[in-house]
Amino acid sequence: MTCRTTTPPPEHVDAVVVGSGFGGSVTAYRLAEAGLSVVLLERGRPYPPGSFARTPAELGRAFWDPAAGLYGLFDVRSFRRFDSVVASGLGGGSLVYANVLLRKDEHWFVDEQPLPSGGYESWPVSRADLDPHYDAVERMLGATPYPLDRPPYTRTPKTHAMREAAGMLGLDFQLPPLAVSFAPEPGADPEPGLPISGPAYGNLHGTGRRTCRLCGECNLGCNDGAKNSLDHTYLSAARHHGADLRAHHEVRAIRPLSGGGYAVDYLRHAPNHADRRDGHRGPPATRTIGCDRLVLAAGTYGTSALLLRSRRFLPGLSPALGTRFSTNGDLLAILVRAGRDGRPRPLEPSRGPVITAAIRLPDALDTALDTPGETGRGGYLEDGGYPGFVDWLAEGAHLPQQLSRGMRFALGRILANAARAPETHLSRAVSELVGQGLLSSTSFPLLGMGRDTPNGVLRLRDGRLDADWSPAASAAYFDRLRDTMRQVADVLEARHIDNPLWYRKRVVSVHPVGGAPMAHHAADGVCDPYGEVHGHPGLYVADGAALPGPVGTNPSLTIAALADRMCTHLLEHRSATPAGRSAHLPPTATTYRESTSLTFTERMRGSYQPGARHPGAASATEEYASPAQRISARLTVTIVDVDDFLDEPGHRAGIDGWIDAPSLGGRRPILRGTRHMFSPNDGPEGRALTYRLHFTDAENRPRALTGRKELTGETPLSLWPETTVLPFRLFDGHVRGPGEQSATVVGAGRLSIPLTEFLRQLTTFRTTGPRDAAALDRFGRFILGRLWHLYAPRTPWRGRKRT
């Protein structure tokens, strides 16, 4: 058993925020504004306007790999079935994203949607929950659609092409809100290149900004400061309210503190040795800071890796850690040589912001939106842009044309020099040598994203993060997305070209999500709907890792809105005295041991009689307003720590899942569930298995289903019916224990486990932790030992069965 001892670190604050992306920046601002002492740790460096790489020499070092001496902006990763690019810098992904602030579609907040590989995608929040927070983030980021109706923005041919394609295909088109300053101040007319009026909270870089010049350089970082990125908005406001923003600080581990709160171990990078305060040129030393509340916002990869590495210090972390990973359906294609009536059609992808328009693909969930007949998982197509130098690369890469023009120019010069009166005006010849740029001006990238299947798993292999994900589970979605891309190409008389990696069935994701998904209970998620990690008060996840599935569109706004909602809840429920370690507590030590969790799933079905007061069959004299109804349940039992479960007299486990009955409104998620196995409260020999499940019906009325399997042990033949049949009563309200005596019973019935479901249940046992086999063995011995004691045939040498 591995033990760790923690002692109070030399520095302690109210809150530490790890990472400065959309979740971290929002959190730092909200907590600092509320008066908490906040330290934000960001591994990358600040990027004021004018500091983003543009030359080949600069771009060659604009990547993140400290082991290779690289401390740049782009963190490029390659996994077995996909590649990925994320950002490293003060402001996180906002420094290089395409500025799109689209809300997750209302009907895409799915509840218990089955996944092909098993399990469910379930969002424990709704669009209504997030709308106020969407509003707040949009205000802060200055969300505004591309001003296509105003010159000079009207001359953006790729945007007009997207609108035309959507109209021809009968798809929804929109100009999405963008976090870009087109006007120098709110309410002013948009105009490129004007100085931007700063907000009251100032600018942490202390440099001026200019309105968007339509240069297409958003994904490389905006050297004009026209993007309303997080460093210009939330982080500047956070610093104004006292937040301590520390760049070049990379968090390596997190640990609980003995008196509450958390210790955060980090390294301070010094890309230039001259910047090192101690003059040390070797590996940076590990430092520690303590906090009452710790918010992980290091991005999907960073946060998931931190939790996986720190698992031994955080007993009882959900077995869902690492699951629900998704690439958000990212797919890239290129439309080449667009035309109109047989003539080249200019698209000019290097003009404007990277993304200006979006086309929405319908979803099978849209049936409620009067689009009957739609099948499949939906998504979005967005126009792609790029910096002007990419046009030169595209033209230069077309070697046949380059060679042809070069040879014609050279031959012309040879013939002219041989003539007695050579032509001295070469403008036409040089113009023909350069060419018309038809390839680059009539082509553009098409970006796709949507609701792929979140069945990926993140795990550590030899200490490094690995992702087990494949597009195969989302093949129907990707095929549909590619078909729509081809249809757009046909409308624009262009040639559709897949990303070359697609021929190896690989994708490139810039929107990875999942790994620490939210859920109502630890059985299905790492954190609750407000981002707090189950079983670890004061520890939060506030980035893409918390998403239980794809957003379907650009996820940045949804991540920021969830963080804003998390902060509202945290601030409303904080106690007068912080829950963490007081600065006056004496240094103490505590020991943490590694724990192993266990889960299994049982499915039951049966009948339910509304109005009945007892589970037995209704008597002939009883009449009910409605007939008996079918009822079914899917219950996932989670034992967070097997050792604690076996040592605890009550042998309590958590339950998550659903109950399905017509009169209750169909399938209803369990909000809180418990199961006690052989508890001494059920008699000296613990002859019962008890269930208590809290949920709400279709009218949002609280209900409690309580049941008890009585284990009489009369004969061995009674083992099967007594362990597989659950008589239950349904109460009005979320009643507990003694409260059942006075609570109103609204129905009763029986649930049972069929033999086929029992055999399936035996395949669902999963353990997570350092002693998987031993934990499963101990649990099995406990269950089988109790059942043997109750039901084994009695022989003369074993004595008579006790009653």
Higher pLDDT pick, 570 / 775: 570
The two beta strands, 82-87 and 507-509, are parallel
User: What is the per-residue pLDDT across 648-689, written as a single tens digit (0 to 9) for each?
Assistant: 877 888 888 889 998 888 888 887 788 988 876 555 555 889
Judged against a pLDDT cut of 90, whether residue 564 lies above it is answered with yes
Q: Say whether 632 sits in a helix, a strand or coil.
A: strand
CATH code matching the domain that covers 3-144+175-327+455-461+504-573, chosen among 3.90.1170.50, 3.50.50.60, 1.10.3720.10, 3.30.56.10: 3.50.50.60
User: What is the per-residue pLDDT across 279-300, written as a single tens digit (0 to 9) for each?
Assistant: 445 567 789 999 999 999 999 9
Higher pLDDT pick, 111 / 59: 59
pLDDT of amino acid 649 = 79
Judged against a pLDDT cut of 50, whether residue 719 lies above it is answered with yes
Q: How many CA atoms lie within 13 A of 667 on its CB side?
A: 11
Highest mean pLDDT among 4-13, 414-423, 626-635: 626-635
Judged against a pLDDT cut of 50, whether residue 593 lies above it is answered with no
Mean pLDDT of 468-476: 90
The rounded mean pLDDT for the chain is: 87
- Which residues, in sequence order, are bridge partners of residue 593? 3
Count other C-beta atoms under 10 Å from residue 433's C-beta: 15
Contact 77, 528 (CB under 8 A): no
- Which residues, in sequence order, are bridge partners of residue 675? 653, 691
Contact 339, 440 (CB under 8 A): no
Q: How many CA atoms lie within 13 A of 676 on its CB side?
A: 19
End-to-end CA distance of the chain: 41
Residue 24: partners with Cβ closer than 8 Å, 6 or more residues away:
17, 18, 40, 42, 92, 295, 297, 298, 542, 543, 563
pLDDT of amino acid 583 = 35
Flag the least confident range among 57-61, 161-165, 772-776. Answer: 772-776
Mean pLDDT of 304-313: 93
Judged against a pLDDT cut of 70, whether residue 118 lies above it is answered with no
pLDDT of amino acid 794 = 65
In DSSP notation, 468-506 reads E--GGGGHHHHHHHHHHHHHHHHHTT-EEEE-GGGGGT-
Judged against a pLDDT cut of 70, whether residue 312 lies above it is answered with yes
Judged against a pLDDT cut of 90, whether residue 208 lies above it is answered with yes
Structure tokens, 275: 């910047």
Higher pLDDT pick, 448 / 455: 448
Mean pLDDT of 730-740: 82
pLDDT of amino acid 622 = 56
Using left for φ > 0, alpha for ψ between -120 and 50, and beta otherwise, residue 584 falls in alpha
pLDDT of amino acid 430 = 78
pLDDT of amino acid 625 = 60
pLDDT of amino acid 579 = 41
- Which residues, in sequence order, are bridge partners of residue 255? 263
Task: Look up the pTM and report it.
Answer: 0.76
Higher pLDDT pick, 682 / 515: 515
pLDDT of amino acid 116 = 62
pLDDT of amino acid 591 = 39
Q: Say whether 785 sits in a helix, a strand or coil.
A: helix
In DSSP notation, 539-584 reads EEE-SGGG-SS--SS-SHHHHHHHHHHHHHHHHHH--SS-SS--TT
Mean pLDDT of 17-26: 98
Closest CA to 775 of 600, 641, 674: 641
Structure tokens, 159: 């945007």
Task: Indicate the domain borders of the chain.
Answer: 3-144+175-327+455-461+504-573, 596-798
pLDDT of amino acid 282 = 59
Count other C-beta atoms under 10 Å from residue 61's C-beta: 14
CA distance 371 to 360: 13
Does residue 152 have a cis bond before it (omega within 30 degrees)?
yes
Q: How many CA atoms lie within 13 A of 196 on its CB side?
A: 30
Mean pLDDT of 216-239: 97
CA distance 303 to 512: 12
Q: Which helix (H) or strand (E) holds 760?
A: helix 755-761
